[in-house]
């Protein structure tokens, strides 16, 4: 059912809706039509996921912006967003392979050889091969470019040694998008190369690294003479930083406040949910803080809308588009802490089957990552100060200095 003719966004959305209504279990569609959350919850069990992903990919709806020859629909992002909205309306996830689709897929499309595109793109869209990201290291967080995992060439193969961290889904992954240092004797940004590393090999050891919530969301990955063929090198030798920046822009987008105005993207309790649960809030202090959080939430949404409206009107984007990620991440922390405080003692202890309070406490802890993951608040403030306001950078301690001579943890 690939779309070959250029059609309008409305027609595309209508096509997607027809597909969904035909493909999804009838109870699912009914639950959506009747806005019945409980019915939807039980309908979810009817969907056989592996086949679902295959069919969704086959229809091109997993990756509508990819070229038709690699399983996409060749659509502009603006047009494709209609499909995403329709999937959202039917409460179906677009993919559970985010690193694969958003990062590895984009990177391969942009930097990969034809062989690489042919080999990797369809399995990504079909969720047959899950990917993980092998970028951050214990010693290279905010300063990612200082990474120390080494890849040394040995004929047609590269031998990898070192350690990565924050690799989500590493256990399930077939491949990892790896940044490794291939030349330590040039400044940090210049000696990095990107690879498409097969995860299932003796030189790769994966260790879960649970978050403070206890959830094993991330992993550490150790390389002990791991091997990757030069044909799986992505982009030129020494150009890995360029590959990664083109990718990280997508990641920042994903983490960013641009999603803040979409319903359901809050990790934890939304302002609306708190009002619903706790209104009328009698304590004037709590009322004030709830009102403050409501205002913050509204202003982030409205600011994102303002930025989007400017884009639609073809105007130059202003600073309004840059501030919401940082503000929203700090707002989210305040909100989850407040949600906990609203509960009083019940926020800090609960009986086993009390999902609300457990979830509230979980969201509170999870919220701590909001100002760390995807660029710490400190780095975000540097970015606002330097890129938006034009303030000068700090004197650099490592600019132009060969990586091997720079101080590291």
Site for a second copy in 56-95 (CB under 8 A): none
Pick one of a second copy, another protein, none as the site partner of residue 275 (Cβ within 5 to 8 A by kind): another protein
- 348 lies in the binding site for a second copy (CB under 8 A): no
Candidates 28-36, 74-82, 234-242, 385-393: pick the segment binding another protein (CB under 8 A).
385-393
Q: Are 124 and 105 in contact (CB under 8 A)?
A: yes
Site for another protein in 348-377 (CB under 8 A): 348-352, 358, 361, 364-365, 368-369, 371-373, 376-377
- 245 lies in the binding site for another protein (CB under 8 A): no
Cβ proximity to a second copy, 202 vs 395, nearer residue: 395
Please confirm, yes or no, whether 129 is among the known catalytic residues. no
User: Locate tokens 């490592």: which residue?
Assistant: 398
Q: Are 109 and 79 in contact (CB under 8 A)?
A: no
**Min CB(241)–a second copy separation in Å:** 24
Pick from 169, 90, 184: nearest CA to 134 = 169
In sequence order, the 6+-apart residues with CB closer than 8 A to the CB of 184 are: 150, 191, 402, 403, 404
Cβ proximity to a second copy, 285 vs 351, nearer residue: 285
Site for another protein in 283-322 (CB under 8 A): 284-285, 287-288, 290-292, 294-296, 298-300, 302-303, 305-306, 309-310, 312-313, 315, 318-320
Task: Take residue 263 and report the two structure tokens written for it.
Answer: 């319903």
**Min CB(395)–a second copy separation in Å:** 6
Residue choice 146, 173, 182, 329 for contact with another protein (CB under 8 A): 146
Q: Out of 251, 292, 330, 341, which one is annotated catalytic?
A: 251
- 346 lies in the binding site for another protein (CB under 8 A): yes
For 296, other C-beta atoms within 10 Å of its C-beta total 18
Q: How far apart are CA 107 and CA 233, in angstroms?
A: 12
Cβ proximity to a second copy, 189 vs 289, nearer residue: 289
Three-class SS of residue 3? Answer: coil
Per DSSP bridges, beta strands 173-181 and 130-134 are parallel
Residue choice 155, 280, 395, 400 for contact with a second copy (CB under 8 A): 395
Residue 67 has phi, psi (to 5 degrees) of: -60, 150
**Min CB(154)–another protein separation in Å:** 30
DSSP assignment, residue 140? B
Q: How far apart are CA 140 and CA 371, in angstroms?
A: 17
What kind and span of H or E run contains 157? strand 157-164
Q: Which residues are catalytic?
A: 251
Q: By the criterion CB under 8 A, which residues form the site for a second copy?
A: 284-285, 288, 394-395, 397
């Amino acid at each position: 059912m690939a779309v070959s003719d250029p059609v309008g966004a409305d027609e595309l959305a209508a096509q997607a809706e027809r597909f969904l209504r035909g493909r999804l279990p009838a109870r699912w569609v009914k639950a959506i039509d009747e806005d019945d959350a409980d019915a939807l919850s039980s309908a979810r069990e009817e969907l056989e996921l592996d086949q679902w992903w295959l069919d969704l990919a086959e229809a091109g709806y997993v990756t509508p912006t990819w070229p038709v020859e690699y399983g996409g629909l060749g659509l502009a992002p603006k047009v494709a967003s209609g499909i995403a909205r329709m999937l959202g309306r039917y409460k179906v996830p677009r993919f559970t392979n985010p690193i694969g689709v958003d990062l590895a897929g984009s990177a391969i499309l942009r930097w990969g050889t034809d062989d690489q595109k042919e080999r990797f793109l369809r399995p990504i869209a079909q969720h047959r091969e899950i990917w993980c990201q092998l970028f951050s290291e214990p010693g290279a967080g905010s300063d990612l470019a200082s990474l120390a995992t080494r890849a040394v060439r040995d004929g047609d193969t590269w031998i990898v040694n070192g350690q990565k961290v924050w690799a989500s889904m590493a256990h399930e992954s077939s491949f990892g998008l790896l940044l490794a240092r291939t030349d330590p004797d040039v400044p940090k940004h210049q000696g990095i190369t990107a690879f498409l590393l097969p995860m299932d090999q003796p030189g790769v050891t994966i260790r879960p690294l649970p978050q403070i919530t206890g959830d094993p969301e991330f992993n550490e990955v150790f390389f002990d003479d791991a091997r990757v063929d030069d044909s799986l090198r992505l982009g030129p030798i020494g150009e890995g930083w360029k590959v990664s920046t083109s990718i990280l822009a997508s990641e920042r987008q994903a983490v960013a406040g641009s999603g803040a105005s979409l319903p359901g993207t809050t990790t934890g309790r939304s302002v609306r949910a708190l009002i619903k649960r706790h209104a009328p809030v009698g304590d004037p202090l709590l009322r004030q803080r709830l009102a403050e959080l409501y205002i913050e939430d509204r202003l982030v949404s409205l600011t994102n809308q303002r930025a989007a409206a400017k884009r639609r009107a073809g105007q130059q984007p202003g600073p309004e588009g840059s501030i919401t990620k940082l503000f929203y991440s700090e707002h989210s922390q305040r909100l989850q802490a407040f949600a906990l405080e609203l509960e009083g003692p019940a926020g800090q202890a609960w009986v086993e089957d009390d999902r609300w309070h457990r979830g509230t406490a979980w969201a509170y802890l999870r919220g701590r990552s909001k100002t760390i993951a995807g660029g710490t608040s400190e780095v975000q403030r540097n970015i606002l100060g330097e890129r938006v306001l034009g303030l000068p950078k700090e004197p650099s301690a490592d600019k132009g200095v060969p990586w091997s001579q720079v101080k590291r943890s």
